[in-house]
Amino acid sequence: MTKYTDRIEQFLDGEMTAEQEAAFKAQVKTDRDLAREVEAHLLATEGIQYFQETKEIKAEKSKVSTSSATEKLSRAAIENQKIIKKPKRSDNIRRLLAIAASFLLLILAYFMIPKSPHSPMAETTTQIIKFESGTRGENTTKTPLQQGIEYFGKEEYENAIPLFDQTIRENPNRRAEAQFLKADALHRMDKKPEAKAVLQSITKTDNEQYYNKAQSILEKY
């Protein structure tokens, strides 16, 4: 019933010699059994593709609906939390807790939010700072870049810039990061032409990641 499968596959994979191919093609034209099997073969392989595509579309759809269902569940959980009545605390304790929470929020904001929201480099700077503070590990000796970042966090840009310069000179692996932070520090000190010059120097390096970022900032600068 299906005696030509291997030959058809050999033809489709381009594994036949020119003579074999010519003979096969001639046979397809004249042999009705082979033609019928070729039709079934093509329908089968096309069907496999259709089967898998449909499966992938379904999986994609269910992923979307699962995520929206998860969202709904978490919303419901939040709503439930709102409904659950907690035992009343005394007014003094509640006030103290509110003050403590505000302090915590302020401390978090101090470390997390870039100091100048108007800096076009703020987003990348935050990413660099986050990464650099995460890579310190158990090594307690701070690199000039990390020391510079500390000064940057305290808005002491004059102290931070020499440390970034040192990194630019001495550490080619962190040069682009240091250049970016230096540009941001200069921007925050309102030294925009100098900041622009540093950004331009990033676009002359071969670091693709920061090249693209510097380029897009320069376009709007």
Binding site for another protein (CB under 8 A): 1-2, 5-6, 8-9, 11-14, 25, 28-29, 32, 35-54, 127, 130-131, 134-135, 173, 208-209, 212
> In terms of CB distance, is 67 or 102 closer to another protein?
67
> In terms of CB distance, is 38 or 202 closer to another protein?
38
**Minimal distance, residue 103 CB to another protein, in Å:** 24
- As given in the structure block, the two tokens for residue 64 are 């979307």
**Minimal distance, residue 213 CB to another protein, in Å:** 10
DSSP state of 31: -
**Minimal distance, residue 29 CB to another protein, in Å:** 6
**Minimal distance, residue 61 CB to another protein, in Å:** 16
> In terms of CB distance, is 53 or 156 closer to another protein?
53
**Minimal distance, residue 9 CB to another protein, in Å:** 7
**Half-sphere exposure of residue 199, counting CA atoms within 13 Å on the CB side?**
25
> In terms of CB distance, is 103 or 131 closer to another protein?
131
Q: Evaluate whether 183 touches 203 at the Cβ level (below 8 Å).
A: no
> In terms of CB distance, is 42 or 98 closer to another protein?
42
- As given in the structure block, the two tokens for residue 2 are 């299906």
Burial annotation 32-62 (CB, 10 A radius, 16+ → b, else e) = eebeebbebbeeeeeeeeeeeeeeeeeeeee
As a whole number of angstroms, the distance between CA 164 and CA 187 comes to 14
As a whole number of angstroms, the distance between CA 72 and CA 218 comes to 42
